[in-house]
Structure formats: structure tokens, C-alpha cells
DNA sequence: CCTACCGATCGGTAGG
DNA sequence: CCTACCGATCGGTAGG
């Protein structure tokens, strides 16, 4: 029988991830120090290095856990046997509510990817590209004539992500609008504007 | 007769601002060092400190020059005696093309405001809030029934800014779509979706 | 799990 | 006395 880790190993690791995410989201990766994180956990720096070999590995754990769950949720939604616009609505709802639930992780994903070592950074990028491509597929179903122009597929998908992602630089749960309502307004606004878009622009 | 500054004082200052903007946009404020900036200018650190009393003052000069010009352009557009939707189109065009022209400054405004001293940071925020309020005014003109709900005014304005701002994390001039076309597609998509938005949501 | 350190590198400033 | 720089080095702090 192999020696096992402490039974609360994963729990303690998750505490570090959560506390670190809060600090890094607030101050930025390079301003938040490992000593800050240690104090927030009520532990020493050495405690952190027992669980994560480097500060970058801690960052990677934060963003990887988050984006992996998000991508899995979105993949599941796309497989449902529903009309494209309904799947689109569920996609936006899942993305927005996921980001609202894990606001720290979302902000870090937006701001601090550049601090990851190349290989880890590329892996996160790959998952982001996959989510963009899922969205491009949905948009092709919703407005095939417009999306027949290949050069427009990624831009339109990224405009939608812009609305959703930027939201969390200003959005507060305590505000006047719930995550569910916000998701619904975003998805209705985008889908109506997108369907009304002519295949070629009328003005120059 | 008072002694004057070197005649090329302002030009040299502008060179520092431009080189620093390129480095800070690429690496982030705290990763880009004053030595990096000095080398990019072909000068010493002391040269930089002759023009800017601190690294933060250099950052402030970059974002202040940019946002001031941007706010002035937008204010001028709003005063034109044109229908609301046309002013909206011009606003989006000016914002997007301004950001495309000064991509470095735009990225810094998005990522590095947190490094400014409080007073300077508040001043930039104030200008950003003013731009948001200009947009809220336009949106009230375009869809008065929807915007009668006060709690929705800022969220809708910020969703539009999200589309425009996020663009420049992925947009490259050399891409398949010009800044002018991008601005037009954003403004058409948003205005159509926004006008179609019902005053109260149909689903829950 | 802690204290005591290290090699390095930062922003800012000295004399000339 | 000023402005416009340079080579060198300061005190303090980061990740490890």
C-alpha cells in the first residue's frame, strides 16, 4: 500500500487557490505576493510551496480549474437537441452565470494570462479558441448568409465575448440587475442585432 | 527674458511617451522597467527622470493625453445637429478608430489604471464616467421606453463599451476587417438589437 | 511549519 | 545659475 497524502490535502489546496484568486484578482499577479497569500491562508510561504512548486503553478491551477469547468458546461449545452437560438441563449446564460459565480477567476483569466509560462499559457489559449469556435458554429446556424463570409466569423463571435467578458470589470452581484437577467438581455440584444445584420454593409 | 526650455523639449517628451506606451502595453506597467524604456529611447534612465518625476507620472501622461483627446472628440460629435442614431454611429466610429490608431494607449487604459496614484486614477475614472454618461444620453434618445428604467441605463451603455473595448485584445489592423468596417458592424448590430429590446423581458 | 537568509532586480537619486 | 544628460550606485523588496 502506497503512502497516501493527508486526507484534507485537496481541501487545503482549494483554500489556497481561493484565497490566492481573491488577492490576484484584486491586486494583479505580480503585485500580490506569496507572503500576502500565505497570510490570507493563515500559513507560511513554505506552506504554499508544499502544495505548488511555484507562483506560476498556483496561477495555472486557478485559471485551469475554472476554464475547464466552463468549457465542459458549454460543450454539454451545444449537444442538446434544441433550436440554435435556444442553445445560444443557454450558452450565454451559462457563461455569464459561471463568470458571476467565479468572478475572481474570471478577472484573472482576463488580466494575468501573460504571466504563465509559455506551455501553460498556450494550453489556456487553446481552450479559449475552442470556446470561440463553438460560438462561431452557433452563429453560423443563426445567420448562415452573413456567416458565409468566413472573415467575419471570428470577429462576430469575439464581439459577443467582449460584451460578456467586459461585464465583469463593472458588474457587481449586489447591483440592480441579476446575472440571469443580464445574460438574458445580452443574448436577446445580440441575437436580434445579429439576425438584422445584412450580409453586405449598406453604407461605406 | 526668461530662460526657455530646449526647443525640442516637447518632441523628446513625446518620444518617451510613445516608446513607453509600446513597452507598457506589451509587458504591463510593472514588468516594463524604466531601463527598458530608456533603452528603447536610446537614452539613460536619468534622461527619463528629467522629463517625468516618477514612473507613475509617465503612466499618467500616456493615459491622460489619450483619454482627453478621445473625450473631446466624442463631445464634439454629440453636439452635432443630427438624428440620435447618426450621432451614435459617429460616436462608435470615433471611439473604435481612435482606439485602433492608439492601440497601445487603449490597452494601457484597460489594464494598468490600478498602478496610478489615487488622485490621478480618480481623474481618469471621472473622464470614463463622463463618456459613459454621454452614451447613456444617446441610448435614451434611441429607445426611450426601455431606458425609462433607470437601473438599465448604465448596464446597456457598458455592454456597448464592452464590445468596443474588448475588440482590441484580439484586433489587428492587418486582419480581414478594417477599423471603419468594424465600427460600422458594431454600431449596426448594437442599435438594431437595442431597438428590438422589449421594455420588460418576456421570459423569466 | 518557521526564520533566516540568498541572488536578482527594481525605482529613484547621487556627483559631475 | 540653468537644462540636459551620463555612469554608477543607493535602499528596499521580490520570489524562492
pLDDT in tens, B12-22: 889 899 999 99
Phi, psi of A176 (to 5 degrees): -90, 5
How much is the mean pLDDT over chain B? 91
Q: What is the arithmetic mean of pLDDT over A182-196?
A: 97
* Domain boundaries along the sequence of chain B: 54-196
Asked whether the beta carbons of residue A196 and residue B193 sit closer than 8 angstroms, the reply is yes
- Whether the per-residue pLDDT at B3 is higher than 80: the answer is no
pLDDT tens by residue, A161-188: 999 999 888 888 767 899 999 999 999 9
From residue A31, how far is each of A112, B44, B48, B104, B126 by CA, in Å?
11, 26, 24, 22, 25
For cell 490576484, name the residue: A24
Phi, psi of B196 (to 5 degrees): -80, -15
Asked whether the beta carbons of residue A163 and residue B159 sit closer than 8 angstroms, the reply is yes
Q: What is the arithmetic mean of pLDDT over A124-140?
A: 96
Strand C nucleotides, any atom under 7 Å from protein beta carbons: they are 1-4, 9-15
How much is the mean pLDDT over chain A? 90
- Whether the per-residue pLDDT at A2 is higher than 70: the answer is no
- Whether the per-residue pLDDT at B80 is higher than 70: the answer is yes
Give the model's pLDDT for residue A5: 56
From residue A158, how far is each of A137, A146, A162, B163 by CA, in Å?
13, 15, 6, 8
* Distance from residue A97's CA to nucleotide C7's C1', rounded to whole Å: 45
Give the model's pLDDT for residue A48: 87
CATH number listed for the domain at residues B54-196 = 1.10.357.10
Full-model pTM: 0.91
In this complex, the answer to whether residue A47 has its CB under 7 A from any atom of chain C, a nucleic strand, is yes
pLDDT tens by residue, B109-152: 999 999 999 999 999 999 999 999 999 999 999 999 999 999 99
In this complex, the answer to whether residue B55 has its CB under 7 A from any atom of chain C, a nucleic strand, is yes
Give the model's pLDDT for residue B204: 47
Amino acid at each position: 500500500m502506497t503512502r497516501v497524502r493527508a486526507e484534507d490535502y485537496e481541501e487545503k489546496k482549494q483554500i489556497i487557490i481561493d484565497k490566492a484568486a481573491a488577492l490576484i484578482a484584486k491586486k494583479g499577479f505580480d503585485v500580490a505576493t506569496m507572503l500576502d497569500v500565505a497570510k490570507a491562508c493563515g500559513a507560511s510561504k513554505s506552506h504554499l510551496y508544499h502544495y505548488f512548486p511555484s507562483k506560476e503553478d498556483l496561477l495555472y491551477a486557478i485559471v485551469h480549474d475554472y476554464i475547464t469547468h466552463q468549457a465542459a458546461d458549454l460543450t454539454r449545452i451545444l449537444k442538446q437537441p434544441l433550436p440554435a437560438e435556444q442553445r445560444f441563449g443557454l450558452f450565454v446564460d451559462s457563461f455569464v452565470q459561471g463568470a458571476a459565480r467565479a468572478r475572481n477567476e474570471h478577472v484573472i483569466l482576463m488580466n494575468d494570462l501573460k504571466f504563465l509560462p509559455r506551455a501553460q499559457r498556450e494550453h489556456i489559449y487553446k481552450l479559449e479558441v475552442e470556446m470561440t469556435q463553438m460560438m462561431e458554429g452557433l452563429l453560423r446556424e443563426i445567420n448562415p448568409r452573413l456567416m458565409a463570409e468566413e472573415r467575419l466569423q471570428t470577429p462576430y463571435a469575439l464581439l459577443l465575448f467582449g460584451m460578456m467578458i467586459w461585464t465583469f470589470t463593472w458588474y457587481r452581484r449586489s447591483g440592480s440587475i441579476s446575472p440571469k437577467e443580464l445574460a438574458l438581455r445580452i443574448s436577446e440584444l445580440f441575437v436580434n442585432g445579429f439576425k438584422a445584420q445584412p450580409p453586405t454593409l449598406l453604407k461605406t
